[in-house]
Amino acid sequence: MVSAYRQIGDLPQLIPVFPLDGALLLPGGELPLQIFEPRYLNMVDDVMAGDRVIGMIQTRGGSRERPRLAVVGCLGRITSYAETSDGRYLITLTGVCRFEAGEELDLRLPYRQLRARYDRFEGDLADDQEVEADDEERARFGAALKRYLNRRELDIDWETAQDAPLESLVNSLCMGLAFAPAEKQAFLEAPDLAARFEVLTTLLEIDVADPDDERPQLQ
């Protein structure tokens, strides 16, 4: 967790947002991004001169030029920054806290800004989040994950995975595996880590149970 923020009163109320479907940032997670569009280069320039925070958020329809924003996003702080010789920015966002998307402001900037509401997600700032899972639940999760990875001919370091805290493993899998945008949003909107663990396990099971890879999508 980013130590500068201990309570929701410390978090900025007006934030720039980066709408990007399929890109999931969770509290405590790290999301590498390559920035090249002029409006988002402008955004990074502005936030680097300020508090270095960006709200990652998905969309939910609307026009291609200005899609509607999802109800929930995640605030991230730039914790790594580099500029390439051709003018791109390579940044890493570390997740701080989820937010509800409030009023969008027209500040005549090339990128979008909104008021963020954090009250529902105050627990994201706690340092002691854990997944309470018994042996049966862990075995169910492990079996579903192995079948999912085998089906896609993917591999992970199982020894490292088994030694990792379940909380870190769940969040990294939610962010890193190739789930659909609606499924990524379900991970983000799960009330807590225990609920996210259950959503992940269920989606892994749905995936491996469908031989035609046409599993139902969350809406």
pLDDT digits (tens, 9 = 90+) for 125-176: 987 677 777 888 888 998 999 899 888 887 777 777 777 788 888 999 999 9
- CB contact at 8 A, 98 and 72: yes
Neighbour-count burial of 107, counting CB atoms closer than 10 A to its CB (0-12 exposed, 13-18 middle, 19+ buried): exposed
Q: Quick one: tokens of 193?
A: 């880590």
> Angle at the Cα of 128 (from 170 to 126), degrees rounded to 5?
100
pLDDT band per the 50, 70, 90 thresholds, residue 218: very low
Candidates 178, 172, 175; CA nearest to 151 is 178
How far apart, in whole angstroms, are the C-alpha atoms of residue 60 and residue 56? Answer: 14
Q: Which amino acid type is present at position 12?
A: P
Measured distance CA(214)–CA(208) in Å, rounded: 10
pLDDT of residue 154: 79
CA torsion through residues 51, 192, 129, 170, sign? negative
Q: Where are the alpha helices (DSSP H) in 115-192?
A: 135-151, 158-163, 166-176, 181-189
pLDDT band for 217, please (50, 70, 90 cuts): very low
Where residue 183 falls among pLDDT bands split at 50, 70, 90?
Answer: very high
- Portion of the chain with pLDDT greater than 90, in percent: 64
Report the range of poorest mean pLDDT among 84-98, 105-119, 203-217.
203-217
Amino acid at site 152: R
Q: How high is the pLDDT of residue 189?
A: 97
pTM, to two decimals: 0.88
pLDDT in tens, 36-61: 999 999 999 999 999 999 999 999 98
Sign of CA dihedral 52, 12, 115, 7: positive
Instruction: Please report, for the chain, the start and end positions of each structural domain, with discontinuous segments joined by +.
Output: 8-125, 135-209
| Average model confidence (pLDDT) across the chain | 89
- Residue 34 vs residues 28, 50, 52, 83, 106: alpha-carbon distances, Å: 20, 20, 16, 10, 26
Architecture, CATH, for domain 8-125? Roll (2.30)
